[in-house]
Amino acid sequence: MALVILERISKKLHLLLSLLENKEFNQGYDVVLSHFLNSKNIIFLKEKERDKVIDELVCFACDTYFISDRTKLYEAVVEREKIISTGIGKGVAIPHAKLDVLNDFHFCIGIQLDSNLEWNSLDGNPVRIVFLILGPSSDQKTYLQLLSEITAMVKKEEFCFEIFKGKTAFELAQIFQQLEKK
């Protein structure tokens, strides 16, 4: 079930990307997930509830990227979550928000090692890996490319098995980069 949902999401993202490439939007750049990923933007989550995890990740992103408006970012992510769950299946959620106050994309990963997070995921399963994406409202193409890259990585059979082998943020960054290459 989760793979069917991920496949549908992936196909829709690819369709949207192809449509955007034929229009005159901000062309951005080709997205390579590892360009956004390093050990400094990976956190082992302490919180156990969805909204608290979102707050933990938003605070982490604000500290990591020197973003000042934490409350506005948190509210935007939570409002987006109310539309439809960003729990895409296979234990993964991708909460995200686009805001005019941001000039660039900011990306964080939260890993919950101790317990499962109830997220109202599309496949009904709990979440343990949370990708937070924050970006400018004006760059739809890069935004969709990031979502597509994450979805493609999550669809890989070895994804969930490999991720939990990492015990430090540095090890996790290396695992993500290896998975991206496959």
Please state, in angstroms and as integers, the Cα–Cα distance from residue 126 to each residue in 48, 60, 84, following that order: 11, 22, 15
| pLDDT at residue 17 in the model | 46
Does this model's pTM top 0.85? My answer is no
Residue 135: partners with Cβ closer than 8 Å, 6 or more residues away: 96, 97, 98, 99, 102, 104, 105, 106, 142, 143, 146
Q: In 3D, which of 90, 107, 111, 110 has the Cα closest to residue 142?
A: 107
CATH code for the domain of 117: 3.40.930.10
Is 131 in a helix, a strand, or coil?
strand
**Position 165 pLDDT exceeds 60:** yes
Q: Output the pLDDT for position 8.
A: 58
The CA-based angle 75-78-83, given to 5 degrees, is: 125
Q: Copy the structure tokens of residue 93.
A: 């959620």
Residue 101's pLDDT band, with cuts at 50, 70 and 90, is confident
pLDDT at 142: 87
What is the domain count for the chain?
1
pLDDT digits (tens, 9 = 90+) for 11-40: 555 544 444 444 333 344 567 777 778 899
Which residue segment(s) compose the domain that 10 sits in? Answer: 2-181
The Cα 77–Cα 80 span in angstroms is 5
Residue 170 has pLDDT above 90, yes or no: yes
